[in-house]
Structure 1
Amino acid sequence: MSELDLRHLRIFVALYVSKNVTRASEAIGLSQSSVSVVLAQLREHYGDPLFVRTSGGMQPTPRAELLVPLVRQALQLLDQSLVRAPEFNPAEITRSFRICMTDVGQMTLLPRLLSKVHQLAPNISIDVGNLSHETTRQLETGEADLAMGFTVDIKAGFYQQKLFDEGFACIVARNHPRIADRMTLAQLQQEKHVKIMLSATAHSIIDVLLERKGLQRVFAVNTPTFLSLGRVVANSTLVAIVPLRLGAIFAAESGVKIVSLPVTFPSYSVKQYWHDRYHRDPGNVWLRSLVYETASNLPLATSISDVDKPLIEKS
């Protein structure tokens, strides 16, 4: 016999404990003949009698004695694997989650999310990584539990859930010498801009849409992140086009103002993504639910009221 199954292991332990085929069969709930057949199969598999008749009942051979702790451990592990996962209680769980997200998400959504996590799950920590070309692989391998933002890299094969719609805003210094509340088409092309060098996010669609209309911007600064953008714009005459919610934060904190653009960009969907491997994981389910709840309550200081207007207004 080349393989043993769970029944063989349970009968082996029952024989070791009872030292009697009849009592072993009663303990397992099988007929005596069935137990005898299994014992014969065990003897053939191990090439050893395993249990021999004595005046004190069926006693284990040295080979059987060596097998007993191993078989019991195997049965214990198998029994544990068959137990349903306990209910996820965030207040009692100690665990670390890794979330990949954009700079914008880190500045708009993350502070509110962390506040909720620390309230509901004081022993859960959040490790934040950047949304990048590596994120797809990280979700597959489990290096990341969740990804958030707008990305063209995460395609079919992943779960996704829409969190909210986002648009774009233009920010300039509050005391900008040439731009008041509205930018003209000429100013859009003549003023010097800050370019955020993000290739796989929603920000990359701005120049694509402008180029389709034959419009180009003049860039004076290239930066890889949004993190210092508010202060850069506030202390210069530079112009930047940013996600709407981020623009509202900059306007409240960084000495900039939001001005109307002569170009209307369509809104885009910010989503959260996860892999099928962790779709049913109770912790991942809880985290996704909390992210969705937090995003649904994220304030929008400036509404997206003109996303259906033509792409270019007359200057």
Structure 2
Amino acid sequence: MSALPQHLDIHLIRILYLLLVEKNVSRVALKLNQPQPSISASLRKLRELTGDALLVRGARGMVPTQHGESLLRPAKRILDEAESLFIKKSPFVPEEAAPTFHIAAPDYLDSQFLPNVVAALRRGAPNSRVIIHSLGPGVDYLRMLSDGDMDLVIANWDEPPPHLHISKLFEDPIVCTMRADAPYARRTAADAMTVDDYLALPHVAPSPMVPGYVGVIDAFLERQGLRRKVAVESPYFGLIPYMLTQTDLVLTTGRQFLRYYEKTLALKTFSVPVKFPPMRFYQLWHQRVHQSPEHKWLRDQVSAAARALPK
């Protein structure tokens, strides 16, 4: 095993990482507030140290070589670990701090949950900034958590990634609902739906949030050897209850989510004849923020909002 070069410093590794991410010497110079010739000289030094070009010209600018791509993750890990050496353990004072919190959540949560989280953050840390991210097939939340572009993910997937930290928030029993004057609703009692009825009715379902993942309802049915008839798929979960009011569609979701819409829309809710386990919501975060005082405070506010939900 060869010895490390004596003059390999953290700043040079930061330049390596940024060059591989930005693929542009000028942009790296701007980010680091250094003259472009200085960054070009560092790239030459890095090429000498690695014995590789690292960046070469492509059709639309510079692109990393294969060896350059292989250095991206080790460089990021070294920078993260070096940064953790000097994290000040000063207490977090939410009333005085001005953090920016990035939270990703689905739109089929209880209608009061996220508003209550935001209200708690505004009360506790009035100088904070809160950015709510949607979850969908195009959102690489694992990378965003790892890179620090996201602080917290609220989800209810069957199998959350094992390398992330997890804290349970609340459970939501599953029911199904439809327009109160739909033909099936008029002739059937709320607790008289059969499995055959349920599977044969036309369902509306949310679009998959993660590529290749069908969602907790269809995943459970699949494990039981059952399949429902999904007639409509929509990425806009908050609009689905309104779709019910003009159609014969059936929505299967959490009881808490429906509470608000049952007050404002003419819906009839049924006990589902399939014994679904309740939806289990939790918050997920990466090891990089696990010990951070401000992120611990954030997670505490989210947990408190979950505990305050009506049972």
Post-superposition offset of 1:143 = 0.2
Query: Which residue of 2 is the match for residue 161 of structure 1?
Result: 167
Post-superposition offset of 1:158 = 1.6
Query: Which residue of 2 is the match for residue 113 of structure 1?
Result: 117
Which one of the candidate residues 70, 90, 94 is aligned to 1:90?
A: 94
* Residues 203 and 242 of structure 1: CA distance in aligned 2, closer, same or farther (over 3 Å): farther
Superposition TM-score, scaled by structure 2 size: 0.64
Structure 1 counterpart of 2:146, one-letter code: E
Post-superposition offset of 1:234 = 2.2
Structure 2 counterpart of 1:195, one-letter code: A
The within-5 A match list for 1:1-315 is 84-105=88-109, 107-132=111-136, 134-151=140-157, 154-179=160-185, 180-182=189-191, 183-200=193-210, 204-300=215-311
**What percentage of residue pairs aligned between the two structures are identical?**
27
Query: Which residue of 2 is the match for residue 13 of structure 1?
Result: none
* Residues 87 and 212 of structure 1: CA distance in aligned 2, closer, same or farther (over 3 Å): closer
Tell me the alpha carbon deviations over residues 134-188 of structure 1, each in whole angstroms, 9 at most, x when there is no partner: 1111111100011111135742222111112233110111222322423233321
Post-superposition offset of 1:84 = 4.2
Deviating beyond 6 angstroms after TM superposition, the runs of 4 or more aligned structure 1 residues are none
Structure 1 counterpart of 2:108, one-letter code: V
Distance 1:153 1:129 in 2: 21
Query: Between Structure 1 and Structure 2, whose CA radius of gyration is higher?
Result: 1
Distance 1:298 1:123 in 2: 26
SS at structure 2 position matched to 1:162 = strand
Distance 2:273 2:159 in 1: 30
Tell me the alpha carbon deviations over residues 15-60 of structure 1, each in whole angstroms, 9 at most, x when there is no partner: xxxxxxxxxxxxxxxxxxxxxxxxxxxxxxxxxxxxxxxxxxxxxx
Structure 1 counterpart of 2:92, one-letter code: F
* Residues 241 and 268 of structure 1: CA distance in aligned 2, closer, same or farther (over 3 Å): closer
Post-superposition offset of 1:95 = 2.1
* Residues 291 and 118 of structure 1: CA distance in aligned 2, closer, same or farther (over 3 Å): same
Q: How many pairs align?
A: 222
Post-superposition offset of 1:214 = 4.2
Query: Which residue of 2 is the match for residue 20 of structure 1?
Result: none
Distance 2:162 2:197 in 1: 41
Tell me the alpha carbon deviations over residues 170-218 of structure 1, each in whole angstroms, 9 at most, x when there is no partner: 0111222322423233321332111212254997132233244443322
Which 5+ residue runs of structure 1 have no aligned equivalent?
Answer: 4-80, 301-315
SS at structure 1 position matched to 2:123 = helix
After TM superposition, the structure 1 stretch with the greater mean CA deviation from structure 2, 208-217 or 108-117, is 208-217
Post-superposition offset of 1:83 = 9.0
* Residues 153 and 189 of structure 1: CA distance in aligned 2, closer, same or farther (over 3 Å): closer
Structure 2 counterpart of 1:185, one-letter code: V
Query: Which residue of 1 is the match for residue 16 of structure 2?
Result: none
Distance 1:167 1:105 in 2: 12
Superposition TM-score, scaled by structure 1 size: 0.63
After TM superposition, the structure 1 stretch with the greater mean CA deviation from structure 2, 161-170 or 202-211, is 202-211
Which 5+ residue runs of structure 2 have no aligned equivalent?
Answer: 1-5, 8-84
